[in-house]
Structures are given as C-alpha cells and as structure tokens.
C-alpha cells in the first residue's frame, strides 16, 4: 500500500463545528482583532491549507519515520530531505504566519481558525507540524518581552523563519520542573551565562533555519529552590546582535538525539549549555518570573498535543473505515451456517460496526471539545481587546478548566482507540504496509510530554476546580443543564436528553464525593484523579455531541438538503446516540468508584508489589 496519501481529513466536520454549531461567523469573525476575517476567507484558507498538508506534509510522513536523523560532531542535526523540503515549503507559503500577531507581520487569525488549521498539519505529519514552534514562542512571549527584545528576537524569529524550542526538562528532574539545576550567572552586561544539561527538547536542533531560539528555564545564582526560583532566558544557537545580525556560535549544543519509539522525524535532543564555550542568553522581560512566563508557552503546547491526538485518531478511523468498506471476509452473521452464503465486506459485521462507530463518535467528540475550547480562546482575545476585564477573566477560567481535558483526555483516550482502529484491519493493521501502526507509535508520546495524564488530572482537580470553589465547573455544568431543558421530553432526542441528565447528576455526585474524600486524604485525589478527568471530559464531549445532534436534527427537518449533507447529518445523530448509550453509563460507575474509594492500596507494604 502506498502510504504517501495516508492522511484523511474531515473538513466537513471541521466546518460543521465552526460555522453550524459554534457559529464563529457571528461571534468572532469580523469583530475586534479579527475584523479582516469572514467566513469565505476562513473556508478558502482552511481548504487550501488542508490540500497543502495532505500533499506536502503527508507526502514525507513515512520518510520522517524511516530515514534516521543525523547528528554531526558540531551539534548539528540533519533531517531527512523530504521532511526538510516540506518544512521549507510550509515557510515559503507563509503558513507559519496564520496566527502570528499582526504587529509582528502575521495574519492574526482567531484561535478557532488556527487550531482548525493545526489539525490538518498534525494529522498529516506531526513531526513536521512541531518544527514551526517559532510562531508559538513569539505569540506567547510577545506580551512579556521588552520592546527591545521584541525587535531583536521575536520579529526576526518570524521574518527570518528561525527555529524555536521550549527547554524545561532535565535528566534528573523529569516532570518535577522545580528540581531543575541548570544555572544562570549574571555577566553584568545585560546577558547571562547558562550552564547545565536539558533533555527531551523537541526539535532542539535541525538544519534549514539560520538560527534557533531556545526558551530556557534556569536558576539564577542565589535564587531559591523550586519553580519560584526559576527564570526564563532566550538563548540563541547563534548570538543575535542588537541590530539583529548574527554573531558567533553560542555555547549551546545538541549532544545527543533520543532514540524513540515513534515520532522519529522530530529531533528530540539533549542540549548542553556552557560546556563548549559560554552559552549566553538574555532574561525575558528583565524580570524573574520564569515559570509564569513559560506557562504561556506550555498552555499552547498542551492544546497542540490534544489537537494532535484528535487528528491522529480521526485519520486512523477514516483509514479503518475505508478498509472495512472493501475488505471481504466471511458471510453475514445471520447466514453464518449457510456454507453457500456470499462473503460480505467486514463493515457488515456487528463488531466491526461497533468499533467503527466508537471511533467515529470519539474522534468527532474530541474535535468538538478542541474546537469549543478554541472558541473560548477567541472570546478571551475579543474581551481583552474590548477592555472587558470581567468577561476576559471568566473566559480565561473556562479555558483553564478545559485545557487539562483537551490534553489529558484526548492524548490518553486516543491511544486506547488507535488500537481499535488497528483491530479493524485485522492482521494487516499490524503491518507497516498500512499507516495505523505508525499512528500508534507517533501518538503515544502525547500522554507523556507537556505534563503526563495524571499531572493533568491533579491540575484539573486541585487547581482548576478547587481554586474557585468549583464555580467555573458549576458554570459549565449549568450550561449542560440548560441543554437538557431545551430538549423535548417526547422529541427526537428524548433518550439522549435522559442520558445526558443522568450523566449530569453523576458528575455532580462524583465531584461532591471527591471533595469530601480529599478532606480525609489527598491520596484519594491521587487514586481517583484520572477517573475524574475522564468522566469530566466525557460529559462535556457528550454534551457537545448532543448539541451537534440538535443542529443536525433541525437541518434534516428543513428543505433543500443534498443527499451528501443528509448522510452527514444522519451521521451526527448516530454519533450522539451511540456515545450517550455507550459512554454515559460509565459515569455512573465512575461516581460509585469515587464514592467507595479507600486507602488500602496506599497502606500496603511495597514488598507486596
């Protein structure tokens, strides 16, 4: 099988989310900072970008996996030629400027449009998609750098298409960022000398750009322990003079490329600072607020990881669906004893249909979650530009609540479901002739980096929910309750109405139980955290799918619907109905398990294990 065309997008569902359900043409486009955008421009831009990603990025996806990266003695990494060419084409098309701020030369697209576009890149070739981190770094740090730093580093970062990184992890620290030991020494001339080793640095070096700008967390001499003692520094591969010309090679080198299970085209580097000459950097914003500044980048990265997982599951499902429609095997189950019965395509078999609909409902549900979260980010930008601080604060809190769900749930659940995608292909799924085995290897990292699933769970419960006494969560649950009230008791979605209402009671009971248990011991939060994150994501996804079913049902009741659109809308109803019946009963079980949580596991002697 030729895998050059492995990527299968779902632009119809993307546009359904944006324009029929979320209606960004009414809420976002043509307003405030997005005044230059309208529906026609967004549709044409996304359609063109999808075609680019499918052809250029998808065309080197296999090569990205099978042609090794090369590291020379001077710390330079060389990518496979096809991957380098695809990244160059992306820059030449100026796609990296889609969401860059206008005052930095970008188009300044709404977050909803940016994340819709990012799905295409991440689905077609996630390794390539993450080489364009420069825009993320520039956008995240733009509000906190000085004017001089903006002109010296951020503008050329975009205009001259430099690479960029976020540098946190150390060999002995891992997820415990506050344990980092990389040091920063003030040189007295406005620059700092960094010393230390960082690990797992995505795209820490690669050929193509004239420079790479590293955003590095380090501990200034005399600073205290933990994350509060960390500061953020900009450390370029080649020194950047005040007039933005490039100077000498800086003392930061790639000293190893990690040998990984998947996502092999993404150069995951060990970076060593200060071993081969001084590694000079500048303090971001000239203030020691490193972890707060870095989190502006981390939040973007977590959103990206969740979207990547969703994109991978979506294309895996569509590949499995195509296979199921052509693979002939066995008779229809109702004629299994008839030796003369004709063989049928496997989409006729009940278990294959169950697996396909599970993937369809979940992929569409994850897309709904990502796109809904993106529109909350639209709301933040619009409120801040309008000077409405109260609305901006509420939108920020809603976004903060949703991010651990986007990252934590999508990354963990997609990995489970990719095994279902592979299962649909039977033995062929295990072969490299088909793309799903690479999907699984490329995607597994998503539940590990940018904060593991359990880190997302603790963030959700202890920070995002407990921080404001559950007010932000209750506000979201109130909207779900409103949707339940909108559905007629005898309408076409009456079953979904009842199941969503039951799920709402279960999630309220679940959080009531965990807050009570937390008063007994935080170990209960640790033991039940992932279950709580899953349940929270699943009620929100189910709610969003029911809202989509409302829109689809109304469309089907109208006139002038094409046969193709009619099939699409029927598919939306099928997704919501299957999801509510297959997933919501699990929330009842989750609530009961949280309510009955004990500390027996924590009391065991470790020798038992």
Quick check: 28 pLDDT over 90?
yes
In the predicted structure, residue 173 carries a pLDDT above the cut 90: no
Active-site residue, selected from the candidate residues 56, 63, 170, 450? 450
Query: Which sign, positive or negative, has the C-alpha torsion 592, 594, 599, 601?
Result: positive
Inter-CA distances, 168 with 187, 227, 427, 501, Å: 22, 11, 41, 43
Nearest-angstrom CA–CA distance, 165 and 236: 10
In contact, 436 and 320? CB cutoff 8 Å: yes
Whether residue 40 lies inside any domain: the answer is no
Alpha carbons 254 and 235: distance in angstroms, whole number: 13
DSSP H helical ranges for 446-522 = 453-458, 471-486, 494-520
For 141-176, b/e burial (b = at least 16 CB within 10 A) is bbebbeeebbebbbbbbbeebbbbbbbbbbeebeee
Taking residues 415-438, report their average pLDDT. Answer: 97
What is the domain range of residue 578? 466-609
User: Which pLDDT belongs to residue 168?
Assistant: 95
- The residues facing 523 across adjacent strands are none
The DSSP bridge partners found for residue 434 are: none
Residue 450 appears among annotated catalytic residues: yes
- What pLDDT score was predicted for residue 391? 97
Residue 548 lies in a domain: yes
**Does the residue 511 lie in any domain?**
yes
pLDDT of amino acid 176: 85
Is the Cα torsion angle 103, 104, 107, 112 positive or negative in sign?
negative
Say whether pLDDT at 1 is over 60. Answer: no
- What φ, ψ does residue 162 adopt, rounded to 5°? -75, 160
d(CA 291, CA 484): 41
- Determine if residue 436 is left, alpha or beta; phi over 0 gives left, psi from -120 to 50 gives alpha, anything else beta: alpha
**pLDDT, position 2:** 59
pLDDT tens string 83-127: 999 999 999 999 999 999 999 999 999 999 999 999 999 999 999
φ, ψ for residue 354 (rounded to 5)? Answer: -60, -45
Residue 60 domain flag? no
Domains identified in the chain, total number = 1
Helices (H) and strands (E) in the chain, counts: 22, 14
In degrees, rounded to 5, the angle at the alpha carbon of residue 122 between the alpha carbons of residues 121 and 128 is 75
Nearest-Å Rg of the Cα atoms of the chain is 25
Element containing residue 273 per DSSP (H, E): strand 268-273
List, for residues 193-234, the tens digit of each pLDDT value. Answer: 999 999 999 999 999 999 999 999 999 999 999 999 999 999
Decide: 308 and 446 in contact? Cβ < 8 Å.
yes
DSSP β-ladder status, 279-283 and 328-331 = unpaired
In a domain, 63, yes or no: no
Would 80 be classed as within a structural domain?
Answer: no
% pLDDT > 70, the chain: 99
DSSP state of 490: T
Pick the residue with more confidence: 580 or 5? 580
From residue 106, give the alpha-carbon distance in Å to each of 103, 149, 164: 7, 18, 17
* Measured CA distances, 588 to 80, 112, 441, 510 (Å): 49, 33, 33, 9
- Indicate whether 256 belongs to any domain: no
Q: What is the mean pLDDT of residues 143-160?
A: 97
* Residue 22 and residue 375 in contact, taking contact as beta carbons nearer than 8 Å: yes
For residue 558, tell me if it sits in a domain.
yes
Can you tell me the mean pLDDT for 67-75? 97
Report angle CA 126, 315, 37 to the nearest 5 degrees.
70
Chain-centre distance for alpha carbon 178: 24
Cα–Cα dist 75/251, whole Å:
10
What is the Cα–Cα distance from 140 to 144, expressed in whole angstroms?
8
DSSP secondary structure letters along 430-451:
GSTTSTHHHHHHHHGGGGTTTS
CA 102 to chain centre: 24
Q: Are 418 and 440 in contact (CB under 8 A)?
A: yes
Using the 8-state DSSP alphabet, how is residue 19 labeled? I
Question: For residues 181 and 272, is the Cβ–Cβ distance under 8 A?
Answer: no
Provide the β-strand partners of residue 218: 231
């Amino acid at each position: 099988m030729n895998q050059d065309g492995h990527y299968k997008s779902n632009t119809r569902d993307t546009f359904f989310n944006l324009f029929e359900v979320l209606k960004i043409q009414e809420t976002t486009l043509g307003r405030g900072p997005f005044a230059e955008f309208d529906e026609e421009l967004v549709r044409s831009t996304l359609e063109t970008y999808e075609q680019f990603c499918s052809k250029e990025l998808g065309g080197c996806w296999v090569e990205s996996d099978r042609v090794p990266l090369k590291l020379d003695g001077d710390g330079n990494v060389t990518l496979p030629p096809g991957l380098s060419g695809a990244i160059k084409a992306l820059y030449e098309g100026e796609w990296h400027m889609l969401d860059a701020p206008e005052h930095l030369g970008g188009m300044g697209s709404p977050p909803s449009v940016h994340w819709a576009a990012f799905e295409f890149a991440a689905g077609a070739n996630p390794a390539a998609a993450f080489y364009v981190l420069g825009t993320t770094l520039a956008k995240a740090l733009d509000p906190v750098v000085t004017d001089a730093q903006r002109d010296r580093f951020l503008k050329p970062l975009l205009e001259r298409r430099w690479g960029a990184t976020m540098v946190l992890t150390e060999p002995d620290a891992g997820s415990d960022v506050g344990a980092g030991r990389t040091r920063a020494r003030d040189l007295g001339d406005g620059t700092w000398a960094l010393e230390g080793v960082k690990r797992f640095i995505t795209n820490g070096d690669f050929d193509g750009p004239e420079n790479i700008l590293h955003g590095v967390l380090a501990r200034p001499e005399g600073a205290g322990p933990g994350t509060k003692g960390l500061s953020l520094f900009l450390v370029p591969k080649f020194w950047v003079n005040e007039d933005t010309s490039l100077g000498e090679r800086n003392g930061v080198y790639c000293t190893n490329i990690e040998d990984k299970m998947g996502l092999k085209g993404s150069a995951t580097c060990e970076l060593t600072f200060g071993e081969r000459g001084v590694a000079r950097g500048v303090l971001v914003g000239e203030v020691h607020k490193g972890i707060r500044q870095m989190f502006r980048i981390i939040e973007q990265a977590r959103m990206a990881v969740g979207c990547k997982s969703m994109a991978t599951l979506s294309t895996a499902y569509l590949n499995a669906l195509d296979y199921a429609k052509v693979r002939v095997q066995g008779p229809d189950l109702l004629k299994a004893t008839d030796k003369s019965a004709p063989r049928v395509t496997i989409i006729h078999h009940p278990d294959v249909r169950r697996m396909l609909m599970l993937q369809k409902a979940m992929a569409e549900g994850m897309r709904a979650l990502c796109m809904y979260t993106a529109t909350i980010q639209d709301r933040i930008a619009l409120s801040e530009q309008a000077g409405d601080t109260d609305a901006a604060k509420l939108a920020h809190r809603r976004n903060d609540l949703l991010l651990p769900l986007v990252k934590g749930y999508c990354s963990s659940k997609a990995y489970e479901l990719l095994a279902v995608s592979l299962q649909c292909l039977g033995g062929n799924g295990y072969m490299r002739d088909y793309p799903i085995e690479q999907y699984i290897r490329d995607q597994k990292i998503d539940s590990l980096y940018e904060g593991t699933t359990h880190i997302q769970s603790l963030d959700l419960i202890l920070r995002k929910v407990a921080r404001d006494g559950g007010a932000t969560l209750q506000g979201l649950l109130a909207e779900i309750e409103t949707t339940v009230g909108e559905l007629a008791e005898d309408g076409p979605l009456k079953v979904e109405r009842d199941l969503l209402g039951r799920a709402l009671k279960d999630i309220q009971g679940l959080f009531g139980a965990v807050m009570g248990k937390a008063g007994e011991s935080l170990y209960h939060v640790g033991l039940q955290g992932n279950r709580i994150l899953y349940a929270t994501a699943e009620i929100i996804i189910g709610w969003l799918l029911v809202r989509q079913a409302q829109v689809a049902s109304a469309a089907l009741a109208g006139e002038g619907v094409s046969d193709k659109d009619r099939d699409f809308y029927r598919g939306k109803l099928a997704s919501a109905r299957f999801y509510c019946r297959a997933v919501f009963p699990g929330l009842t079980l989750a609530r009961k398990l949280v309510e009955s949580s004990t500390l027996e596991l924590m009391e065991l002697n470790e020798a038992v294990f």
